Amino acid sequence: MNELQDRYIKNQMLTMPMKLNRELSSNGMTFNKRDDFEDIIKYINNFLEGNTINRFLVLPGLRDVGKTTLLFQIYEYLLKEKGISSQNILYFSCDQIKKMGKVDIFNVINHYIETYHNSIIDTLPYPIFLLIDEAQYDKEWALNGKLIYDSSKNIFMIFSGSSALKLSQNPDAAIRLLNIPIHPLTYSQHLKLKYQNFNNDMSNMITHLIFDGNIENISELNRKIIDIYSNFKNFDVTEWDNFLQYGGFPSSFYQNKNDITKKIVSMVDKVVRTDMHTIEGINGDTPYLAFQVLNYFAFQNPGQVSKGSLSNLFDAKIPLVSKVLDILEKSQLIFHIEAFTSTVKRTTKPHKYFFATSSLKHNLALDVGSAILEEKTTYMGKLFETYVASSFLNLDNRSVNSYKIYYDDSNKDNEKNVDFIVQRGLEKPIPIEVSCGEKEDSQIKRAISKYHSPHGVIISKTTSNIVKKNNIIYLPGELFGFM
């Protein structure tokens, strides 16, 4: 570690406690905490109580999704609520270290422990906490984390960074680290951070409503959303539409729409031009093809896309198209869902691709000039379809139970398919229709009959409250946002 890097670490040790108020508030308002904060401090508290298994957390996520703020909030929690000395907490960012020389996390930590704790990693006698941001700038971050983990049970580490962390994980480190992906904000998280913290106890109720057809709590759900909104000060009645177009990233709270578009487009540019280069085997054509694919998805309706069709469209070989799609998924910009059919047939069917958040689709579409060419309800419906798909994916990721989402591939005699089929475990599938306007029930009735489903769900503006008519549940889109 060189002199400039040493000076940077000394400065971090001295100034971090004083930076907290500046970094964790704006215009006199303290930032609320996202749900991931509570999950992380459980591991911290377990560590302080003597449980030393989960002490290497990795937080991969898209740029600008709020990971740095999360690390500052964890620092504040350790300092102010757990009474940990600032000397026993080190926060640093590897992109700053890189500006001053080679990035070597192990070397930095070893120097910190020698300088401030008069010890070496192996003999450290008491707990310390390492909060390391932008860890992907150390190409050996996973190996260095493994070495630190194996050398001392008194070190609790959180490595945060872009989705490149997930792309470059060392297989040897995988059994030590615990991945906690930081996803774009859901609508309820968006409201919590922007307006006021509240207990979203509706999530499980909405999940049970969709999968069990449980109507016992309908009146309570309808009341709860009114109670939540009535407690917000200066609530914007267009918040739901604004969220679909510009939400998902905390920075959207403090910027105008033009700046949000520029920031999101710039973020995608950095993921493609910078993060993708952590992968071996990519060449100069790979980022160019990635931009083509992303702009194509931004412009198109969500729909089935084969690798062969993309290969023909962009005059690229299928293996390169496959590699680009795989990297874009691992980078968390996009994800895919498969056809609802037998496992064997599913492997032969094209995928449907969606952006991780509807605002990615919207702002990339704005950037290429295609977002203003459609009637608003139709266009907003595409954004909402993206949000619904990502919501069910996130439900599966955060749940013990399996919640899978598929697209309906049963089209016969030119009949339109429903938008999605969702399934919990091996239970009967539930067809889902999505719209930002009103929606007829003919498609959902056909799907209920075809799949022998107990009920179906229409998520739309057909009704202003949750209603169940026969075996169809009508769920307003804005209320679905609380799942």
Quick one: pLDDT band at residue 21, thresholds 50, 70, 90?
confident
Q: What pLDDT score was predicted for residue 220?
A: 87
Q: What is the mean pLDDT of residues 302-327?
A: 89
Question: Is residue 350 over pLDDT 80?
Answer: yes
- Which pLDDT belongs to residue 412? 65
* Amino acid letter, residue 325: L
For the ranges 245-249, 270-274, 348-352, the maximum mean pLDDT occurs at 245-249
Are the CB atoms for 327 and 279 separated by under 8 Å? yes
Predicted local confidence at residue 163, as pLDDT: 67
Give the pLDDT of residue 353: 94
* Angle (deg, nearest 10), helices 239-246 and 376-398: 70
Q: How far is it, in rounded angstroms, from Cα 32 to Cα 47?
A: 24
What are the Cα distances from residue 116, in Å, to 93, 125, 135, 208, 328?
18, 13, 22, 52, 41
Average pLDDT over residues 284-293: 87
- What residue ranges in 83-165 does DSSP mark as E strands? 89-93, 128-133, 155-161
Q: What pLDDT was estimated at residue 414?
A: 58
pLDDT on residue 214: 81
pLDDT tens readout for residues 421-480: 999 999 999 999 998 878 888 899 999 999 999 999 999 988 888 999 999 999 999 999
Q: With cut-offs at 50, 70 and 90, classify the pLDDT of residue 236.
A: confident
What pLDDT, on the 0 to 100 scale, is given for residue 274? 81
Q: What is the pLDDT of residue 38?
A: 92
Lookup: tokens for 213: 């057809």
Query: Model confidence over 36-47: pLDDT tens digits?
Result: 999 999 999 999
DSSP state for residue 252 in the 8-state scheme: G
Name the more confident of 121 and 342: 121
355-375: average pLDDT? 84
pLDDT category, 9, cuts 50, 70, 90?
A: very high
Among 93-107, 335-349, 367-381, the range with the most confident prediction by mean pLDDT is 93-107
**Three-state SS for 179?**
strand
Residue 355 has pLDDT above 80, yes or no: yes
Contact between 353 and 305 under an 8 Å Cβ cutoff? The reply is: yes
Whats the size of the chain, residue-wise? Answer: 483
- Give pLDDT, residue 279: 61
CB 424 within 8 A of CB 395: no
* Residue in the block written with tokens 């094209």: 350
Confidence tier at 369 by pLDDT (50, 70, 90): confident
Query: Which position has the higher pLDDT, 346 or 78?
Result: 78
Residue 456 CA, chain-centre distance (Å), reads 27
Alpha-carbon gap, residue 45 to 52, rounded angstroms: 11
- pLDDT of 170: 64
pLDDT tier for residue 200 given thresholds of 50, 70 and 90 = confident
3-class DSSP assignment, residue 397: helix
Q: Is the pLDDT of residue 79 over 60?
A: yes
- Does the pLDDT at position 73 exceed 90? yes
Structural domains in the chain plus CATH codes? 3-182 (3.40.50.300), 189-480 (no CATH)
Considering only CA atoms, which of 272, 285, 270 is closest in space to residue 321?
285
pLDDT at 453: 96
Angle at 451 between CA 386 and CA 215, to 5 degrees: 70
> What does the pLDDT read at residue 252?
83
The pLDDT of 310-329, averaged and rounded, is: 91
Is residue 5 within 8 A of residue 101, CB to CB? The reply is yes
Give me the residues paired with residue 59 across strands.
160
Can you read off the two tokens belonging to residue 134? Answer: 């932008």
Q: Is the pLDDT of residue 167 over 70?
A: no
276 or 50, greater pLDDT:
50
CA 225 to chain centre: 24
pLDDT, the chain, mean: 89
pLDDT at 306: 87
Specify the DSSP element, H or E, that contains 25: strand 25-26
The backbone torsions φ and ψ at residue 47, rounded to the nearest 5 degrees and listed phi first, read -65, -45
**How does residue 70 score in pLDDT terms, banded at 50, 70 and 90?**
very high
Q: What are phi and psi of 475, to 5 degrees?
A: -125, 115
Asked if residue 471 lies in contact with residue 451, where contact means CB atoms within 8 angstroms, the answer is no
